[in-house]
Amino acid sequence: MDIAHCYMDGNTDAVEFCPHDDYHHVLATSTYTLLEGDNPSRSGSVSLFNVNADSSHLELFHRVEVPGIFDIKWDPVGSDTGVRPLLAQADSDGCIRVHCLERSSDEAEDKGVVLREISSEKISSSMCLCADWNPSATSISVGLSDGSISVISFSESRFEVLQEWKAHDFETWAASFDPHQPHLVYSGSDDCKFICWDIRDRPSNSVFRNSKAHMMGICCIMKSNSNPNILFTGSYDESFRIWDVRSVSRPVNVAAIGLGGGVWRIKNHPSVPGLVLTACMHNGFAIVKTRGEEIEVMETYKKHESLAYGADWQRGMPGESGRKTSVIATCSFYDRLVRIWTPERCHFS
């Protein structure tokens, strides 16, 4: 069921609900727009919306203009950063920026919440394509357009590059910490390689390399939040794959399904084990149920008219305030559209 929608100021590539208590209503969106001409540039923005499933209005209450953005990520719940949620931003100008979400001292500021940039660091002459926090929010992994990975520490609002290495032959679209073993970083790239790195080594050593499972570039990697032995990958080859990583040096591809479009983003449901939301580029969005080696598409959503890039679940248990389903935010690129909706066939009562 559709709840609300709005059009953004630029090409929209990411939507992220804040996972922290008291801020579940806050949705961050990011844009990336290439301005062509004699002096081409890349512009972007981060916008904050108030999302209320009982309202048909998507309320914008804060916006900041920044360089073009490829990825944004809130710091994980239970991290060591204190009570203020943090939003990391991977920029097209080679910078990593961190904003904090805080109460505004300006009474005129709607909703009393604003983003304030607390740190920025240019880490590369290449573009920052993706970013991921470690579980304690003391480090950020960054995938770069030259195929490198950078791991940077974040402490007391300061960055320090811990190490950077050439990981892939082409763009690194995914560089994700293992939340259960944060010394491991999984990466995927346009070179079709899926690699695990042990960052305790300097330089990082590869624990495994797989270049046979995906036939095209790997876009996203996500560990299951309900089973520490399971990991998901998505690719331009339109496949969503499940991996058993109990033997971290020899992961086993236990299942795969074609979703009809390049799998750009994967998001675990925050409370329902095995339920996954996927953004499938030219084929909209799909909700997938995983049970061991079984994969089933539960529902699809195709009301966007452009590349399906961003997707996320709003936190809050189904059944809360009478809710029988979950609220989802999705965005598409060229039509600059953000939609808020609830599944019609996935009910959790």
Give me the mean pLDDT over the 14-25 stretch: 94
Q: Tell whether domain 2-341 is in CATH 2.130.10.10.
A: yes
The model's pLDDT over 35-85, given as tens digits with 9 standing for 90+, comes to 888 888 999 999 999 998 777 778 999 999 999 999 999 999 876 556 689
What residues does 46 pair with on adjacent strands?
Answer: 30, 64
Domain boundaries in the chain?
2-341
The model's pLDDT over 239-268, given as tens digits with 9 standing for 90+, comes to 999 999 999 899 999 999 999 999 999 999
Q: Which residues contact 80 (CB under 8 A, 6 or more apart)?
A: 136, 137, 138
Residues of the chain by 3-state class (helix, strand, coil), percent to 5: 0, 55, 45
| Contact between 46 and 30 (Cβ < 8 Å) | yes
The model's pLDDT over 254-303, given as tens digits with 9 standing for 90+, comes to 999 999 999 999 999 999 999 999 999 999 999 999 998 899 999 999 99
Burial of residue 247, with CB atoms counted within 10 A of its CB: 0-12 exposed, 13-18 middle, 19 or more buried: exposed
Give the pLDDT of residue 93: 96
